[in-house]
Structure 1
């Protein structure tokens, strides 16, 4: 592979979090015992993480804007999360956009979505639909899934409020996502964390690629390349470059973007390691293509 090119002149980090555990309750970060987590032991991030911490982690990279994604606050207080982040942004200059939370199947979803949308910094919603633990267990039509009529009724409210949808689900549910995108084409879907290709066996990766192809056939679906670490394994280009290149090849440079998922992904690598890996994996791309992946696509999709 060619050597890594120069860093881009500007970066938009399309997915990160901040939290103040002294001021706000996040059950997964505060309560005991800790929940089962895909990166294993996450005790290192069970502490406050604020813009100064994020800036320290991203030092050396020209991060000019960023996207905050909901961080699993106490769910009864979801609107307060958006309001708190808007205040943090006003004080600290980041994040630049917010992806808030709403239970799309809840009878009160329309009211909450309208309230989120009234906060200027809010651009979209993330609500993780019901998902199977493995590809073999996946079944269509489950309650709370993307097939659920009640869930879809809430989803239909996104376009009415000018909101996009961040989808975090394993790749074995991307057939449902493709149908959702086809049926409701006015809503932009942004798949989180590369659709979670945790199993790196040849068979699983082949199925992951086919699932991405199914999703990418819908023009209103984009992909965030992030969250590709594995428990107990340090983030390394050798283990992740093929994932990055395959994802870009399937979605194209116009519908893919890079994101840190910090501080969560600090469990597997520091910011420089991960973003240098993104850079090295795209060394054969033009500077214009890299700017799309590191900056321009996030600016367009999150309306920055």
Structure 2
């Protein structure tokens, strides 16, 4: 869908996108009838060229981006614990490619969030140090997802994590290694699991934590048709999490197939007005709870391609902030991300 771009000059830092080539791994996936697996198959190849095409062709003023780990380009030669270093090495090369200026002024992957298995306990420190060495000046922290649900159809078999991961003693031993190094932590879990993150954030009040994807409300499998029914529980937990001043929130991820906002995809052609209406209750609740200085819009591309074209997605976010002040918009679209991930230099 082609739309006129709203506020095309507004500087944007996209704080959450992936790069991957899943084609060699597709035979390991079950038949792509599952909503999320189908979305991955449709976007199995997403590297620099695809990212650049989306950003450069969007009409929005994307000044920089932040890469988010996704288990791609691991290097098995480094051993099981250190193989995620390969992903950071790859992305650092993409960042260097962008920094050359040959592809325009935007700085792709200006900050890099990798992965370390925090179930290594204190041994995770060695991995964190290797990740930092792989991208000096760009590595900012890690994400260790905890998404789990009793219904295996919610996530699909390849994407489940252990139940109660963020409450695990060994995990928290590894989590403590982040604070020793001044690193950030991104959390991805599902709406029913938000109490686990609240407990983690309270236990580590000095650790910077970012909640991804508005906490991932669910509208599929056992949760199909229950978004309205579960909204008050989600809102209560968001407000409780926001009391933890070490936590920020990413406003996005709502176009993922998990959320059913919209139900159809991939890229079904919905306009930004329709998407903004679907997402408004979640985005406005998060902004009210956390405030603009602790909230940031994200594309979550290419996963959110399920429900939204890149240009339309950012138009929807801009519609949701029509009544915001210039200062609030500056924070939501770039300032909060720049501060949390330490790339303020992109904003001059």
For Structure 1 versus Structure 2, the TM-score category normalised by the shorter chain is 0.7 to 0.9
Distance 1:64-1:34 versus aligned 2 partners, 3 A rule:
farther
Q: Is the 8 A contact 1:117 1:161 kept in 2?
A: no
Rounded Cα–Cα distance in structure 1 between residues aligned with 2:98 and 2:27: 24
* Structure having the larger proportion of residues in helix: 2
1:174 shift after superposition: 2.0
Pair 1:273-2:287 in alignment: no
Which of 229, 232, 253 in structure 1 is aligned with 2:264?
232
CA apart distance, 1:35: 6.8
- What does residue 103 of structure 2 align with? none
* Deviation readout 1:28-75 (Å, 9 max, x if unpaired): x563435775546222101x2222321221221111110100112358
CA distance in 2, matches of 1:263, 1:37: 17
**Structure 2 stretches of 5 or more lacking a match?**
100-107, 152-161, 220-225, 344-348
The answer on 1:79 being equivalent to 2:85 is yes
Cα distance between partner residues in 1 of 2:9 and 2:282:
21
Q: 1:125 to 1:36 in 2, by over 3 A?
A: farther
Question: Cα distance, 1:128 vs. partner?
Answer: 1.1
Aligned partner of 1:137 in structure 2 is none
Over 3 Å counting, the alpha-carbon distance change for 1:82 and 1:40 in structure 2 is closer
Measured on the aligned residues, the alpha-carbon RMSD in Å equals 2.3
Matched, 1:197 2:217: yes
Counterpart in 2 of 1:213? 239
State the match for 1:251 in structure 2: 290
**TM-score, L = length of structure 1:** 0.87
In the alignment, the residues of structure 2 paired with residue 281 and residue 89 of structure 1 have an alpha-carbon distance, to the nearest angstrom, of 30
Residue deviations 1:108-162 (CA, integer Å, cap 9, x gap): 412101211233211110111263347xxxxxxx766111100000000011122
* Match for residue 123 of structure 1 among 118, 123, 140: 140
Provide TM-score, normalisation by structure 2. 0.77
Higher RCO structure (Cα 8 Å, ≥6 apart): 1
Aligned mates of 1:267, 1:202 — CA distance in 2: 21
> Larger deviation: 99-108 or 225-234?
225-234
- Choose the corresponding residue for 1:33, options 30, 40, 61: 30
2:127 matched to 1:112? yes
Alpha-carbon distance, 1:291 to partner = 1.0
Note closer, same or farther for the CA distance 1:117–1:36 as it changes in structure 2 (3 Å cut).
Answer: farther
Structure 2 residue 338 is the aligned partner of structure 1 residue 295: no
1:182 CA drift (Å)? 1.9
- How far has the Cα of 1:168 moved from its partner? 0.1
> Does the aligned pair in 2 maintain the 1:174–1:214 contact within 8 Å?
no
Task: Check conservation: 2:148, 2:163, Cα contact below 8 A.
Answer: no
**Residues 217-257 of structure 1: per-residue CA shift (max 9 Å, x gap):** 10000000111022425452221122211221111111110
Displaced runs of 4 or more, over 4 A: 34-38
Counterparts of 2:320 and 2:184, CA distance in 1: 28
Residue 222 of structure 1: aligned partner: 248
Matches within 5 A, 1:27-106: 27=25, 29=26, 31-33=28-30, 39=36, 41-42=38-39, 43-46=41-44, 48-58=45-55, 59=57, 60-73=59-72, 74=74, 76=80, 77-93=83-99, 94-106=108-120
Aligned length: 289
Task: For 2:165 and 2:13, locate their aligned partners in 1 and report how far apart those are by CA, in whole Å.
Answer: 31
Contact 2:147 2:190 in 1 (8 A): no
Q: CA 1:40 to 1:52, structure 2 compared with 1: closer, same or farther past 3 Å?
A: closer
